[in-house]
Amino acid sequence: MTARLHSIAGSRSFRVLWLLFELNEEVEVVRYAITDGSLHTEDFKAISPARRVPALEIDGRVLFESGAIVQYLCETRSGHGLMPAPEDPERADWLMWLHYAETLACHIQNLNMQHLFLPDPATRSATVMELETKRLAIALKGIERALQDGDYLLPSGFSAADIMMGFTLESASRYVRFDRFPAVAAYRDRIAARPAYRSALAAEGAQQFYDRDFYDLPEV
């Protein structure tokens, strides 16, 4: 049966969509938007308790949490080379990087809230924006260091950990200038050139919330 991905273009659901394309799995995309109320229905709440995307209907079950979905897909599909085996010494690093993507995503989410989604701009906090931007840059430094010796997060090459990180870097570059992080910038371009990434981007539709490439901190 075709999988159904509950998705917002430009959000964490891209991780799952991209992985499904890497795995050549058929998928139907069910589209939502953050501000039009489409997440706030009883039907969607039954699928995703916090009313967040991604949620994936697959194999007769419903899954939410992007990291869990990515791991589930890697564990239940074979022949893809996107996850080191449990006994492989790289497996622990794979799990670490898989979830490190959420350390970045939390800061991006807070910055999205401050820059884009607070209904009353007077409630924005320059302190929060500055702090979250700095903390995002610190988290990016960790990736810059990890990429000094290779093209991907794992020395053995491209894996689903890079898929978890991909969308995250795309959004991060709207808040932190990547000229400070040349290895991260080259890595983002490298993974974005993958055919499955490009097919997933075309399939998810245009993102609707970022209206500029870079968001500067407000003048105080």
| Contact call for residues 175 and 215 (beta carbons, < 8 A) | yes
Q: What's the CA gap between 97 and 159, in Å, rounded? A: 10
> Three-state SS for 63?
strand
Residue (36 or 219) nearer to ligand GSH, CB: 36
Residue (82 or 104) nearer to ligand GSH, CB: 104
Q: Smallest gap, in angstroms, from Cβ of residue 65 to ligand GSH? A: 5
> Three-state SS for 64?
strand
Q: What's the CA gap between 169 and 97, in Å, rounded? A: 13
Q: Smallest gap, in angstroms, from Cβ of residue 18 to ligand GSH? A: 14
Q: What's the start-to-end Cα distance of the chain, in Å?
A: 54
Q: Smallest gap, in angstroms, from Cβ of residue 102 to ligand GSH? A: 6
Q: What's the CA gap between 91 and 145, in Å, rounded? A: 19
Interface residues with ligand GSH (CB under 6 A)? 8, 11-12, 34, 39, 52-54, 65-67, 102
Residue (112 or 133) nearer to ligand GSH, CB: 112
Nearest to ligand GSH by Cβ — which residue? 52
Q: Smallest gap, in angstroms, from Cβ of residue 13 to ligand GSH? A: 7
Torsion angle defined by CA atoms of residues 93, 96, 102 and 104, in that order, rounded to the nearest 10 degrees: -60
Residue (29 or 34) nearer to ligand GSH, CB: 34
